[in-house]
Structures are given as structure tokens and as C-alpha cells.
Amino acid sequence: MTKRDLVVRISKETGLIQQDVYAVIQKTLDYIVDGLVKGENVEFRNFGVFEVRERKARIGRNPNRPSQTVTIPSHKVVKFKPGKVMKRVVSEA
């Protein structure tokens, strides 16, 4: 499912104009990203939690030259932890 698919589906079900639905979805996604940039967890009850985690620096290997090691610097990643209701509904599907 793409953002466009979501916009069309919500528009059909609610009768709202697609441009308005798109604006609301985009603004919601922007606020989620803003919260993560600030280091906040973004939590939606029964859906899940988005959080930023720091991955430690580590040593990797060049797949083309396995004898060559590469230093991978530490960096931040977004982690999603699904909520109880989402886990249950998906596992029953």
C-alpha cells in the first residue's frame, strides 16, 4: 500500500477531497519525523511505537574483498515496535 492508495481509500470512505486527505497524511508524517528528530518516542496506542536508537560503531567486511575490513561508524536508526492489538490482528490474519 502506498501513500496514494491510502489517500484514495480514505477519500472514498469519508467523502473528503483527496488533496485535503493528502495534506493531513503528509502533515502527520512530518510531525512523526519531527518528533523522532527531537529524540522523542512516537506512540500510537494499540498500533505501536516509533523510537530512535543509536547503533554502535563496528567493524565490517568488504563483500568484494573479504580480507579488507571497513569501519562502520555509529549512527541513529528508527525502530518500530508493534502494539499488542496490531500483533494479535496480524497473527490472526
How confident is the model at residue 74, as a pLDDT? 96
pLDDT of residue 72: 93
Number of other CB atoms surrounding residue 21 within 10 Å:
19
> What is the residue-level pLDDT of the chain in tens, covering all 93 positions?
999 999 999 999 999 999 999 999 999 999 999 999 999 999 999 999 999 999 999 999 988 888 889 999 999 999 999 999 999 999 998
Query: CB neighbours of 16 closer than 8 A, spacing ≥ 6?
Result: 10
Give helix 18-37 / helix 3-14 axis angle, nearest 10°.
130
- The domain spans of the chain are 3-88
User: Which residues are bridge partners to 81 per DSSP?
Assistant: 49
**pLDDT value for 67:** 87
User: The domain at 3-88 falls in which architecture?
Assistant: Irregular (4.10)
